[in-house]
Structure 1
Amino acid sequence: MSPASDALGALPILIAVGGAALTSALVTWTSRPLLQRYALARPNARSSHRILTPQGAGIAVIAATLVVASVWAVWAGIEIPPALIGATVLIALVGFADDVVTLPVLVRLVLQAAAVAAVVFTAPETARVVPALPFPLERGLLLLGGVWFVNLVNFMDGLDLMTAAEVVPVTAALLLLGINGDLSWPAALIATALCGAMLGFVPFNRPVAKVFLGDVGSLPIGLLLGWCLLELAWRGHPAAALLLPAYYLADSTLTLLRRIVRREQFWSAHRTHFYQRATDNGFTVRRVIGEVFALNLVLSLLAVVAVRAGVTTITMLALLAGAIAVGFVLRRFSLPQVS
């Protein structure tokens, strides 16, 4: 059996998850004093934290993910697209610059679009989600969707452990799909390494957080996760690719639309996401994170069932169940808690 065919065996997976977790934790711990000096997140009216907290530990998460996935890929004889690696580094640098000195919105968007474009337009022409669409139109829509996904992951990273509660179940589900042959090997490797790296970050970000990911973490995490989901859609499973991030998609998109309708400056910081409203409505941070994590476990199960069943009826039922579950949690978050 070749190394490639055994890449997703139990031992390599455990080594990859453990190595990424250890690397992430070690880099986070050693970099925290520097972040404390140069990259402090100051609380304001829109913040969920109340004390000065260093940000930028996403450097550790992204470094651990890329290093572990790359070493694993070399050992297994698998090629991770160079454009993805380069785009991830670029968007991480953009995020780091924004963490230290705030960049103009237009500059951020242009650089983010360049990173997403590098991933989308270097993909094989055979990679299609909706073959009925003209190829240039589909790639243009994927570019817009990719930029939005990168930013929505950033927008949703506003509560201790929120990104971990999203990324860990989603990447674990992607790993399971990779083991079953429903996801490309490079995407499975990236997802596994990212899962481990996020687990290594958890002890530092649990309430009350000692350090935040910062844009240097949330933006490239959005890019890597978005690419893994796109790979899943390209493999013929678009429903699962929508189910896995359904909570993030719903919370961020509905919030954006609501702000546009109200003619607010939707690009500026705010506290109107459903998860933020939940804390204002009496939910504790731990309860919000717990419910989001539980919801993502349900969505991950539905996605895996839909893929493995391969039956249109079951896929539609899974999508309906996912929509109901997400709607239920959003509704709960939007209502004041009865004491």
Structure 2
Amino acid sequence: MSYTSLISYFILFIVLELVYFKIADRFNIIDKPNHRSSHTRVTIRGGGVIFPLSVLAYAILHGFENVYFVIGLMAISTISFLDDILTLNNKIRLGIHLTSVLLLFFQWDLFSISWYWILAALIFVIATINAYNFMDGINGITGGYSLLTIITLYYINEKVTRFTSSELLLVVGLALLVFNFFNFRTKAKCFAGDVGSVSIAFIIVFFIGELILTTQNLSYILLLLVYGTDTAFTVLFRKIRRENIFEAHRSHFYQYLSNQLGYAHILVSCIYISAQLLINILLLRIAVTDILSACCLLALCIAFYLFIRFKLEGFKKLLTPNAS
């Protein structure tokens, strides 16, 4: 992709984001702080709309490559945007989500393989989308973490193995740069909203799925290890405490760091991004070609996460029902 094209995309995404800010301000699409929020200011919600729009712009200019993926992305993004504004029926929302995932599976040509791999893929996709939605709670974390993932995928595509379009990766990366300019700051201009967290999760899942199917290497799931670990163990701890895991909460470790310990949002986001960066480096250097090394990396990271979390929060708070 030429520098002129990159600059053109970048300018387009800035313009689209600024236009959206005007629309959001006009129609009062804002996020007001509540008891489970990690922020204290009224802020524009839905700034992550730039993510699906970036893919749509690329698709229009390139003859709608990966058409099933694009249709699925636009469907899940639209329903998520409406969910940001309105209170939608859960059956409708879940129906659109499932339809989008099935379209993604058609894009991957997944229905030609054994049913248990399809089930595993369904769990992976749904879990990743939910994890992204859960983790989108402080400034910079969604945009920064996703940008790191896209950069890593671009490196793999260029230096390790070709599995997708480098141009599309660059376009998504530019959209993330624009979003981060407005979100990765102490006082964010906008939040991603459901439309942002769900759509970027869908996009990243598409790329990682392409990578795994091309290489037949499941180790690349570790590119999402930090988000996966925090989400999985937070749900587990809530289940142990006999809490309703479907209710809104502030139980994630990143929320404890920012809310209880008072760490700045940007600092917590940088901690999470740096941890995933280290994992990505180790994965590409020593673990990607050796399943045993990948398993050791997984076990080591989980053990370190649990040690730090129990050290800071304590066993009682994490494991005891109604503990303060």
Q: TM-score w.r.t. structure 1 length?
A: 0.82
Alpha carbons of 1:311 and 1:13: their partners in 2 closer, same or farther (altered >3 Å)? farther
- 5 Å-filtered alignment, 1:121-132, equals 121-125=106-110
Higher alpha-carbon deviation: 41-50 or 296-305: 296-305
Q: Equivalent residue for 1:139?
A: 118
1:293 and 2:278 aligned: no
1:90 and 2:68 aligned: no
Deviations 1:127-160 (A, max 9, x none): 86xxxxxx12221231232122112111111111
AA aligned opposite 1:259: R
Alpha carbons of 1:252 and 1:20: their partners in 2 closer, same or farther (altered >3 Å)? farther
Higher alpha-carbon deviation: 102-111 or 210-219: 102-111
Residue 46 of structure 1: which of 36, 39, 52 is its match?
A: 36
TM-superposed CA distance for 1:183, in Å, is: 4.0
Alpha carbons of 1:332 and 1:263: their partners in 2 closer, same or farther (altered >3 Å)? closer
Distance 2:14 2:308 in 1: 31
Q: Paired residues, what number?
A: 312
AA aligned opposite 1:33: K
Q: Does the CA-based 8 Å contact 2:164-2:207 persist in structure 1?
A: no
- 5 Å-filtered alignment, 1:147-226, equals 147-186=126-165, 188-205=166-183, 206-226=185-205
SS state of the match for residue 80, structure 1? coil
Q: Does the CA-based 8 Å contact 2:110-2:118 persist in structure 1?
A: no
Q: Equivalent residue for 1:22?
A: 11
Higher alpha-carbon deviation: 155-164 or 298-307: 298-307
TM-superposed CA distance for 1:331, in Å, is: 5.8
Distance 2:136 2:49 in 1: 15
1:234 and 2:197 aligned: no
Distance 2:3 2:272 in 1: 26
Q: Does the CA-based 8 Å contact 2:257-2:268 persist in structure 1?
A: yes
Residue 100 of structure 2: which of 115, 118, 126 is its match?
A: 115
Higher alpha-carbon deviation: 322-331 or 297-306: 322-331
Q: Does the CA-based 8 Å contact 1:20-1:65 persist in structure 2?
A: no
Distance 2:3 2:308 in 1: 33
TM-superposed CA distance for 1:23, in Å, is: 2.7
Alpha carbons of 1:117 and 1:126: their partners in 2 closer, same or farther (altered >3 Å)? closer
Distance 1:227 1:127 in 2: 17
TM-superposed CA distance for 1:122, in Å, is: 4.3
Q: Equivalent residue for 1:100?
A: 85
AA aligned opposite 1:138: W
AA aligned opposite 1:265: N
Q: Equivalent residue for 1:67?
A: 57
TM-superposed CA distance for 1:87, in Å, is: 0.4
Higher alpha-carbon deviation: 281-290 or 94-103: 281-290
Q: Equivalent residue for 1:281?
A: 261
TM-superposed CA distance for 1:208, in Å, is: 1.0
AA aligned opposite 2:13: S
1:269 and 2:257 aligned: no
Higher alpha-carbon deviation: 204-213 or 232-241: 232-241
AA aligned opposite 1:158: G
TM-superposed CA distance for 1:317, in Å, is: 4.8
Bigger helix fraction: 2
SS state of the match for residue 180, structure 1? helix
Any stretches of 5+ residues in structure 2 without a counterpart? 318-324
Q: Does the CA-based 8 Å contact 2:144-2:180 persist in structure 1?
A: no
Q: Does the CA-based 8 Å contact 1:243-1:322 persist in structure 2?
A: no
AA aligned opposite 1:277: Y
AA aligned opposite 2:37: S
SS state of the match for residue 85, structure 1? helix
TM-superposed CA distance for 1:35, in Å, is: 0.8
SS state of the match for residue 184, structure 1? coil
SS state of the match for residue 185, structure 1? coil
TM-superposed CA distance for 1:163, in Å, is: 0.6
Q: Equivalent residue for 1:80?
A: 65
Q: Does the CA-based 8 Å contact 2:46-2:191 persist in structure 1?
A: yes
Deviations 1:178-208 (A, max 9, x none): 112524124x443332221101111211221
AA aligned opposite 1:64: S
Deviations 1:297-318 (A, max 9, x none): 11221232247x6344554454
